[in-house]
């Protein structure tokens, strides 16, 4: 009897832990999802690329980040003479590439009597090669910077840099050699990879050159990020994030139409969800598929998964997949009601207490309350639309009332009727983020939306976007407000601004007034080919009447 | 007819070139020699080694080169905690090793969200790890310095540094990591290699501790340099030089007795000889066997080949090999008479006009005339002894007269009867090199030799040796002069000096009064495990009555 009591006591004490350890999804469920992710893994398409010429980096106040790359010679001129006299040469591959670099070294006078030492620096933009990396002031790992040191013991040698790099320009410096012999570099080549193998439909012939160029740079950006998952950036972080997936997948729908990759990513995220059923914001493929455990839960990204799933269903009609993943989508909404005050207003402090991450944009000082309120309403509406497609409305029957309550709360507490602008937080901060998400969540009616979007455009102290990510939602909000011209103007000034500054692919962070803006305190560590910046492809091709007229 | 005339004319014009291009040895001959070299290539013996502990580098005026390594913890303590807090740690493998380093990295908190960047610096001596390499002031390739930068993309990772390194101490620095996760290092190991697999005979029990230690350090030096050839140094230059071969092979004769390696090296040098029949001073094994073409002809080394061949025959009785290589030895002597004045005195200027390299020692300002005179006479005597063993005296019938003439010339022009010292060059320079080689060439009789060796020992401005290489010949000259005690004293102060300064292996350059002496203007680039310094093994074991009494 005594033993039994002890066992009962232990069971009671352990019950909360047992509960906590329970998985919201069954082992079989996860296995099935990850199996489907694996089945839809694309074969990478490899292409051998050669450099197109040499460039010189020239300081120029008018150039992006103060540096421009000026053609300075042919690759043959590099191959034709001793490399010793050419240390520091910058080679231009003519386009942004992702993959593996190989070059060959041959003795040209005497036999080598000592090893050689090279430093190879791969850069997506010219200033990346003109800015010393050390001492490194950045907030992310120094190892993301793509400078590799190589010792070559024997010649001839064909050297392949083991790490995958993403770049257009390559600086090659000689750090060690011997007077006893001379040598030349030859046969530089690059094994470029992407899972994209097809070209999208051509734009209308009447498309303006700038819009056509923006579209082309967007396509390059998207293609470079489409590897065996939708990566956020092939230089950094090289992983699947929900926020990037959503934007990449809608751009893909209007361009490469590689829906299999979208399907794979939706399944990876589901299969690797947290034990409590909510989604991790990002996942890795190597050394094997896993989520970024330990990272703060990124609330809004978990909600945007639903929008991505809805868009996937619309693009493909693949109800089987959407039904398979519906339980995941439904689960993501559960967090919403837990962090509202009595009126139905989002309480960022409550989320903060849980250690959540609210992102919205890379911009110091941005208040995120209104944006989150809008994102939540937007996500609920997207999920409702998804439920309707799947005949699952009964499972989310509470949504219409919650949407209504939250919309009312936003209109009551976050809308300033006098200025026509939405505010956020205790200090009633005015930002583009808040206006955009209130419009996309349809908190404002069309007239109010237009008023807000017009007012914010000329507002002098409003917090403005730091990334193309938020700017995407800004454009979407302009279109939703019926402000087609403003949307096109924004596209031309913002993404067109990057194009005019020489972008081969669109950048992770871009402030037209601050070329060196970096979320990480060091602009060379920024990603200059970033998935969330590719969406002109989506807008230009979805709304030809706006962007191609 | 006209065509025939043109052909004749062309043939006549080309004749000198054809002559020049003719090979002194036949293709078949070289092929046969290189075939024998290949047949005698040893299998390397691999051993897995683990570090014995951690050390701290401490500045200390009394330590060799100003730095000592002080034990500071266990390897387990390194493995047990985050590596982030231990960047810069120095790991001690407890002995000099040559081969390949491997370590493993595992995440210890969260999943990695960024690559890692390490710098690994391998050092043979403590100061090598405490002295910044850049900006590099040295005269040899910076790439010899053993610092490698590694980017690690995924964890867990097992990293093997691709280049072969030679070291005892390893500094591991973390150059890049992320705040998002933590990690530990584990399973550091080293695949050590050498072609030596046996232990030599034990020394007599009565051997003094210092002599025993000198012998042990000499054996380590020799073993580390015995790879698939006798290397000069496993860190640098990692190749076969005739001068090192000679000293290594006689040390090997009295220790490991791996005569197969000597045979291989003699054949490599013969098979790769210059077209004119004279020997290249050094050869490489990778990417395939080849000589160091383009390097200045090193006159005295070509002569010392004969001494090495004679010693090989004496040690093994392998007449077949000695006869096979006899034509090479005979050929090397041909240069001697070409560079003598009428009296029979060596004319360094004449050699210089041909672009030859006269080495003798790494010591700026050393006049080499007398040394070369001595080396030439010594080599002729060694060759004569070889010829006698092989019944080939008739082929070198001119040698006795030439030896006589050159000896007389030296006694007339290079010997100062008043001081009892030999002089060298127009400025009558006094050096240890000159005395040693005049003694070894038997230009001085025993009484004169003793007088010279005693006088030079106390001479205040004499040029003294900069390397153990020349010091070897100094010891040999003392023994030849019957000055056993002085030979032992020199061994104990010079090689014993290195031992007392903490040498695990003997150094390429050593001046008791200048720890930072470097032939290359930067002491960390020196080799601290250098073949030519291993010869205490030879002396201690060949002359036990001198060194073990």
Distance of alpha carbon A153 from alpha carbon A113, whole angstroms? 9
Q: How far is CA A43 from CA A39, A235, B73, B513, in A?
A: 11, 20, 49, 66
* Span A335-349, average pLDDT: 94
Distance of alpha carbon A373 from alpha carbon A434, whole angstroms? 9
User: Could you tell me if A305 and A277 are in contact, meaning their C-beta atoms sit under 8 angstroms apart?
Assistant: no
Listed in order, strand segments (DSSP E) in B26-124 are 45-49, 53-59, 67-73, 89-109, 116-123
Residue A265 has which token pair?
């990513």
* Span A128-145, average pLDDT: 97
Residue B210 has which token pair?
């210092």
Inform me whether the pLDDT recorded for A22 exceeds 80: yes
DSSP letter for B144, please.
G
Write the residue in B143, B176, B181 that is nearest to A142 by C-beta. Answer: B176
Strand partners, B105: B157, B185
Locate the chain B residue with the closest alpha carbon to A113: B292
Distance of alpha carbon B189 from alpha carbon B81, whole angstroms? 18
Buried b (16+ CB within 10 A) or exposed e, A88-121: ebbbbbeebbbbbbebbbbbbebbbbbbbbbbbb
Would you call A153 and B145 a contact, using CB atoms and an 8 Å cutoff?
A: no
Residue B45 has which token pair?
């013996």
The model carries a pTM of 0.93
Smallest CA–CA distance, residue A148 to chain B, in Å, is 7
What share of chain A in percent tops pLDDT 70?
96
Would you call B163 and A143 a contact, using CB atoms and an 8 Å cutoff?
A: no
The reply to whether A152 touches chain B by the CB within 8 Å rule is yes
The reply to whether A317 touches chain B by the CB within 8 Å rule is no
- With contacts defined as CB-CB under 8 Å, which chain A residues touch B290? 111
φ and ψ at residue A36, rounded to 5 degrees: -70, -35
Helix residue ranges, H only, B283-398: 299-316, 319-332, 334-338, 348-353, 369-390
Would you call B111 and A290 a contact, using CB atoms and an 8 Å cutoff?
A: yes
* Span A474-501, average pLDDT: 98
Q: What angle do CA A518, A519, A524 make, to 5 degrees?
A: 40
User: Could you tell me if B54 and B72 are in contact, meaning their C-beta atoms sit under 8 angstroms apart?
Assistant: yes
Q: Before A474, cis peptide (omega within 30)?
A: no
Query: Of B142, B144, B233, B286, which to mutate for an interface test with A (greatest number of A Cβ within 10 Å)?
Result: B142
Q: Which residue ranges form the domains of chain B, and what is each CATH number?
A: 46-192 (2.60.120.260), 209-547 (1.50.10.10)
Q: Before B156, cis peptide (omega within 30)?
A: yes
Distance of alpha carbon A277 from alpha carbon B541, whole angstroms? 76
CA-derived radius of gyration, chain A: 26
- With contacts defined as CB-CB under 8 Å, which chain A residues touch B121? none
The reply to whether A111 touches chain B by the CB within 8 Å rule is yes
Q: Is A497 exposed, middle or buried (0-12, 13-18, 19+ CB in 10 A)?
A: middle
Cβ atoms within 10 Å of B272's Cβ, excluding its own: 22
Kindly state the greatest CA–CA separation across chain A.
93
Distance of alpha carbon B186 from alpha carbon B49, whole angstroms? 14
DSSP letter for A230, please.
B
Q: Which of B274, B284, B183, B191 is nearest to B232 (CA)?
A: B284
The reply to whether B165 touches chain A by the CB within 8 Å rule is no
Locate the chain B residue with the closest alpha carbon to A120: B149
Cβ atoms within 10 Å of A202's Cβ, excluding its own: 8
Work out whether strand B147-152 and strand B116-123 pair parallel, antiparallel, or are unpaired.
antiparallel
Query: Of B115, B118, B174, which to mutate for an interface test with A (greatest number of A Cβ within 10 Å)?
Result: B115
Return mean pLDDT, chain A.
95
| pLDDT at residue number B548 | 81
User: Could you tell me if A359 and A282 are in contact, meaning their C-beta atoms sit under 8 angstroms apart?
Assistant: no
Q: How far is CA B538 from CA A146, B304, B317, B441, in A?
A: 51, 17, 19, 20
Locate the chain B residue with the closest alpha carbon to A106: B287
Q: How many CA atoms lie within 13 A of B535 on its CB side?
A: 28
Distance of alpha carbon B475 from alpha carbon A224, whole angstroms? 69
The reply to whether B364 touches chain A by the CB within 8 Å rule is no
The reply to whether A173 touches chain B by the CB within 8 Å rule is no
Inform me whether the pLDDT recorded for A10 exceeds 70: no
Angle between helices A399-413 and A369-390 (to 10 degrees): 160
Question: Locate tokens 């978990």: which residue?
Answer: A302
Write the residue in B163, B237, B290 that is nearest to A151 by C-beta. Answer: B163
Would you call A194 helix, strand, or coil by DSSP?
strand
Q: Which residues contact residue A386 at a Cβ distance below 8 angstroms, ignoring those fewer than 6 apart?
A: A306, A309, A310, A313, A322, A326, A329, A392
* Span A340-345, average pLDDT: 96
What share of chain A in percent tops pLDDT 90?
92
Write the residue in A116, A143, A154 that is nearest to B151 by C-beta. Answer: A143
Question: Locate tokens 């060379």: which residue?
Answer: A524
User: Could you tell me if A274 and A347 are in contact, meaning their C-beta atoms sit under 8 angstroms apart?
Assistant: no
Q: What angle do CA A12, A13, A14 make, to 5 degrees?
A: 90
Locate the chain A residue with the closest alpha carbon to B147: A151
User: Could you tell me if B410 and B370 are in contact, meaning their C-beta atoms sit under 8 angstroms apart?
Assistant: yes
Distance of alpha carbon A253 from alpha carbon A311, whole angstroms? 9
Query: Of B84, B112, B151, which to mutate for an interface test with A (greatest number of A Cβ within 10 Å)?
Result: B151
**Which A residues in the span 224-263 are in contact with B, Cβ-Cβ below 8 Å?**
237
CA-derived radius of gyration, chain B: 26
Query: Of B135, B176, B180, which to mutate for an interface test with A (greatest number of A Cβ within 10 Å)?
Result: B176
Does the model's ipTM exceed the 0.90 cut?
yes
Q: Quick one: how far is CA B411 from the chain centroid?
A: 31
Inform me whether the pLDDT recorded for A2 exceeds 50: no
Would you call A293 and B110 a contact, using CB atoms and an 8 Å cutoff?
A: yes
The model's pLDDT over A171-204, given as tens digits with 9 standing for 90+, comes to: 999 999 999 999 999 999 999 999 999 999 999 9
Smallest CA–CA distance, residue B175 to chain A, in Å, is 7
Query: Residues A327, A330, A331, A337: what is their CA dihedral angle, to the nearest 10 degrees?
Result: -170
Q: Which of B390, B385, B420 is nearest to B403 (CA)?
A: B385
Question: Locate tokens 């590689």: which residue?
Answer: A258
Would you call A176 helix, strand, or coil by DSSP?
strand
Taking phi over 0 as left and psi of -120 to 50 as alpha, with beta for the rest, B94 belongs to left
| pLDDT at residue number B354 | 87
Cβ atoms within 10 Å of B152's Cβ, excluding its own: 20
Taking phi over 0 as left and psi of -120 to 50 as alpha, with beta for the rest, B258 belongs to beta
The reply to whether A109 touches chain B by the CB within 8 Å rule is yes
Would you call B351 helix, strand, or coil by DSSP?
helix
Q: How far is CA A321 from CA A37, A315, A365, A540, B271, in A?
A: 11, 12, 40, 28, 71
Would you call A292 and B153 a contact, using CB atoms and an 8 Å cutoff?
A: no
Residue B13 has which token pair?
């014009």
Distance of alpha carbon A128 from alpha carbon A146, whole angstroms? 10
Residue A208 has which token pair?
């303006």
Question: Locate tokens 């583009």: which residue?
Answer: A432
- With contacts defined as CB-CB under 8 Å, which chain A residues touch B289? none
- With contacts defined as CB-CB under 8 Å, which chain A residues touch B114? 140-141, 143-144, 237
Would you call A144 and B115 a contact, using CB atoms and an 8 Å cutoff?
A: yes
Distance of alpha carbon A256 from alpha carbon A315, whole angstroms? 12
φ and ψ at residue A163, rounded to 5 degrees: -80, 145
Query: Of A119, A135, A142, which to mutate for an interface test with B (greatest number of B Cβ within 10 Å)?
Result: A142
Listed in order, strand segments (DSSP E) in B394-470 are 415-416, 421-422
Distance of alpha carbon B173 from alpha carbon B295, whole angstroms? 38
Q: How far is CA B529 from CA B93, B221, B235, B238, B468, in A?
A: 15, 6, 8, 11, 11
Inform me whether the pLDDT recorded for A116 exceeds 90: yes
Query: Of B100, B113, B134, which to mutate for an interface test with A (greatest number of A Cβ within 10 Å)?
Result: B113
Would you call A163 and B151 a contact, using CB atoms and an 8 Å cutoff?
A: yes
Helix and strand totals (H; E) in chain B: 19, 14
Task: List the single range of A17-26, A262-271, B252-261 with lowest mean pLDDT.
Answer: A17-26
User: Could you tell me if A315 and A302 are in contact, meaning their C-beta atoms sit under 8 angstroms apart?
Assistant: no
Q: Is A485 exposed, middle or buried (0-12, 13-18, 19+ CB in 10 A)?
A: exposed
Distance of alpha carbon A366 from alpha carbon A368, whole angstroms? 6
Inform me whether the pLDDT recorded for A429 exceeds 90: yes
Buried b (16+ CB within 10 A) or exposed e, A46-78: eeebebebbbebeeeeebbbbbbbeeeeebeeb
Distance of alpha carbon B484 from alpha carbon B455, whole angstroms? 16
Write the residue in B154, B175, B178 that is nearest to A140 by C-beta. Answer: B178
| Tens-level pLDDT at each residue, chain B (549 residues) | 444 444 444 444 554 444 456 899 999 999 999 999 999 999 999 999 999 999 999 999 999 999 999 999 999 999 999 999 999 999 999 999 999 999 999 999 988 999 999 999 999 999 999 999 999 999 999 999 999 999 999 999 999 999 999 999 999 999 999 999 999 999 999 999 999 999 999 999 889 999 999 999 999 999 999 999 999 999 999 999 999 999 999 999 999 999 999 999 999 999 999 999 999 999 999 989 999 887 889 999 999 999 999 999 999 999 999 999 999 999 999 999 999 999 999 999 888 888 899 999 999 999 999 999 999 999 999 999 999 999 999 999 999 999 999 999 999 999 999 999 999 999 999 999 999 999 999 999 999 999 999 999 999 999 999 999 999 999 999 999 999 999 999 999 999 999 999 999 999 999 999 999 999 999 999 999 999 999 999 999 999 999 986
| pLDDT at residue number A18 | 47
Helix and strand totals (H; E) in chain A: 19, 14
User: Could you tell me if A167 and A122 are in contact, meaning their C-beta atoms sit under 8 angstroms apart?
Assistant: yes
Write the residue in B151, B153, B181 that is nearest to A294 by C-beta. Answer: B181
């Amino acid at each position: 009897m005594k033993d039994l009591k002890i066992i009962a006591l232990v069971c009671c004490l352990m019950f909360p832990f047992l509960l906590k350890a329970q998985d919201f999804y069954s082992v079989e469920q996860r296995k099935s999802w990850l199996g489907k992710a694996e089945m839809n893994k694309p074969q990478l398409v490899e292409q051998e690329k050669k450099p197109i010429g040499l460039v010189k980096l020239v300081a120029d106040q008018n150039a992006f980040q103060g540096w421009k790359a000026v053609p300075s010679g042919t690759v043959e001129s590099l191959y034709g003479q001793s490399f010793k006299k050419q240390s520091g040469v910058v080679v231009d591959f003519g386009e942004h590439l992702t993959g593996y670099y190989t070059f060959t070294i041959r003795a040209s006078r005497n036999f080598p009597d000592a090893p050689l030492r090279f430093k190879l620096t791969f850069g997506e933009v010219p200033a990346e090669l003109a800015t010393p990396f050390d001492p490194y002031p950045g907030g992310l790992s120094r190892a993301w910077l793509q400078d590799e040191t190589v010792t070559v013991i024997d010649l001839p040698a064909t050297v392949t840099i083991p790490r995958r790099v993403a770049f257009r320009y390559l600086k090659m410096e000689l750090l060690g050699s011997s007077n006893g012999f001379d040598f030349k570099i030859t046969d530089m080549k690059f094994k470029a990879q992407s899972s994209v193998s097809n070209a999208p439909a051509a734009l209308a012939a009447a498309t303006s050159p700038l819009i056509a160029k923006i579209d082309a740079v967007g396509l390059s950006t998207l293609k470079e990020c489409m590897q065996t998952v939708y990566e956020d950036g092939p230089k950094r972080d090289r992983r699947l994030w929900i926020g990037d997936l959503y934007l990449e997948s809608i751009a893909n729908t209007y361009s490469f139409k590689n829906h299999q990759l979208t399907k794979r990513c939706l399944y990876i995220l589901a299969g690797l969800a947290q034990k409590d059923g909510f989604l991790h914001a990002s996942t890795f493929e190597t050394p094997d598929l896993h989520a970024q455990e330990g990272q703060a839960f990124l609330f809004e990204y978990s909600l945007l998964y639903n929008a991505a799933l809805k868009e996937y269903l619309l693009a493909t009609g693949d109800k089987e997949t959407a039904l398979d993943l519906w339980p995941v989508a439904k689960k993501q909404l559960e967090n919403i009601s837990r962090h509202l005050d009595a009126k139905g207003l989002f309480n960022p402090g409550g989320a903060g207490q849980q250690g959540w991450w609210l992102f919205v944009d890379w911009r110091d000082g941005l208040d995120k309350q209104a944006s989150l309120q809008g994102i939540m309403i937007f996500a609920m509406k997207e999920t409702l639309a998804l439920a309707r497609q799947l005949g699952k409305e009964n499972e989310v029957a509470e949504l219409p009332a919650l949407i209504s309550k939250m919309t009312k709360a936003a209109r009551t507490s976050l809308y300033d009727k006098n200025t026509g602008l939405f505010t956020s937080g205790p200090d009633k901060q005015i930002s583009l983020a808040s206006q955009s998400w209130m419009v996309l969540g349809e908190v404002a009616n069309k007239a109010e939306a237009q008023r807000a979007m017009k007012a914010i455009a000329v507002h002098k102290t409003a917090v403005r976007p730091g990334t193309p990510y938020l700017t995407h939602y800004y454009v979407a909000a302009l279109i939703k407000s019926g402000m087609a011209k403003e949307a096109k103007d924004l596209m031309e000034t913002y993404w067109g601004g990057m194009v005019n500054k020489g972008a081969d692919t669109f950048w992770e962070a871009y402030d037209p007034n601050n070329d060196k803006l970096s979320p990480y305190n060091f602009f060379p560590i920024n990603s200059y080919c970033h998935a969330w910046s590719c969406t002109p492809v989506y807008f230009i091709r979805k709304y030809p009447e706006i962007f191609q007229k």
